[in-house]
Structure 1
Amino acid sequence: MVRTNPERRQALLDASIEVLAREGARGLTFRAVDKEAAVPAGTASNYFSNRDDLLVQVGHRYYERLVPSDERMEQSHQLQTRESMTELMTEVVERVSGFRTGYLAILELRLEATRRPELQALLTDRVRADLDFNISNYRESGLPGGEDAVVLLYLTLNWLILDRLTLPGIFDEKRAADLVRTAVDRAIPGED
């Protein structure tokens, strides 16, 4: 039986993110989620039909929590320069890095997606939609270059975030900011 209390559902999904980040996919059980959310035993099983359902819903929740502010979205639709693109990419790296447990949880979900077709489909569709959205915004930005610039920034910055969160001793904050600037400078052709 699926309950309809949206606040409780979000609390359970947020607890699931914390469990995934700390314990990995094998540690994600209804019991562990109930304990993390500080709710009575059996609560999670009332909201999610099975573990696969929980994993898919966690994937949705991760992306919900990363949605940029309305102000940031508005800024991304304005005419861009390489400098404003550097600022935007720096903000993205900071926003995603600031949700450390979420990023670690999504890495666990990506690994789990290699064994679960429904989860793989969800994550593939979501990442593809995000890339398409970013490519569309880039085309409207007035900057030179095209789809490859967006894909290169996506790939480069995702790996930078991964290193910052899993091996923070490799790149300090200043070096990471310098690398974002370098990535933008190299991915986006010079403005002539």
Structure 2
Amino acid sequence: MRRNVERRAALVDAAIEVLAREGARGLTFRAVDAEAGVPAGTASNYFAKRDDLFTQAGGRIYERLQPDAATLARTFEGPRDLAKVTEVLRGTVGRVAEFRTGYLALLELRLEATRRPELRSVLTERVRADVEANVAHHLDSGLPGDATTVRLLYLALNWLIVEHLTLPGVFSDDEVQELVAVAVERAAPR
């Protein structure tokens, strides 16, 4: 297998775009090559099988969705109240919405994981680690709410994001922002 890290990343990013646009059935080496603008056969030189594309795309989506260090540091600035939780989560929803194709590809991967045990294992591990990292960060930051609050908000906001990205006419941008605030208010213990 080839080792050009930049080319591999470009191919995985192309796989994400193909997944978002064509779904799991459309994710072929040929489609990835075309999306990446590379010669036919390039993807098959980097990935032994299609399953490798699925698992690496899943990992790359999470890498690209991670907040940068400055964004994480802002969690610790100012008062640690419900308004701060709302601010942080509105930022999260915005960051996910900006990477629409990544989130749509992730939905495709989740569906495909019901048929591919290896992919299911990779995604389960990654999502579990992501949720637990969110819980730990929240608790370390001193924000109101406990681990259950974080998990409830994770579940509620994930479905809000699904609605917003797949059926954008259901809730306006303003309604999305308001629903984030209401979810925080109702999920956080008093």
The bucket for the TM-score relative to the shorter chain is over 0.9
What's the TM-score, normalizing by structure 2? 0.96
1:166 paired residue number: 166
After superposition, the C-alpha distances for 1:29-88 in whole angstroms (9 at most, x for unaligned) are 000000111100000000000001111111111111111111011223456211111000
Aligned pair count?
A: 189
What does 1:134-145 align with in structure 2 at a 5 Å threshold?
134-145=134-145
What percent identity do the matched residue pairs reach? 59
1:110–1:120 Cα contact (<8 Å) kept = yes
CA deviation after TM superposition for structure 1 residue 140, in Å: 2.2
Distance 1:175 1:58 in 2: 31
Q: Does 1:76 align with 2:75?
A: yes
Distance 2:54 2:143 in 1: 38
2:96 paired residue number: 96
Q: Specify the code of the residue in structure 2 equivalent to 1:28.
A: L
After superposition, the C-alpha distances for 1:82-107 in whole angstroms (9 at most, x for unaligned) are 11110000000000011110011000
2:82–2:144 Cα contact (<8 Å) kept = no
1:105 paired residue number: 105
2:119 paired residue number: 119
Q: Specify the code of the residue in structure 2 equivalent to 1:178.
A: E
Runs of 5+ unmatched residues, structure 1:
none
Alpha-carbon RMSD: 1.2
1:3 paired residue number: 2
Distance 1:141 1:118 in 2: 34
Q: Specify the code of the residue in structure 1 equivalent to 2:73.
A: E
Q: Does 1:49 align with 2:48?
A: yes
Distance 1:144 1:68 in 2: 20
Runs of 5+ unmatched residues, structure 2:
none
After superposition, the C-alpha distances for 1:122-166 in whole angstroms (9 at most, x for unaligned) are 111111111111111222233443111001100110000000000
What's the TM-score, normalizing by structure 1? 0.95
SS in 1 for 2:159: helix
1:32 paired residue number: 31
2:157 paired residue number: 157
Distance 1:144 1:67 in 2: 22
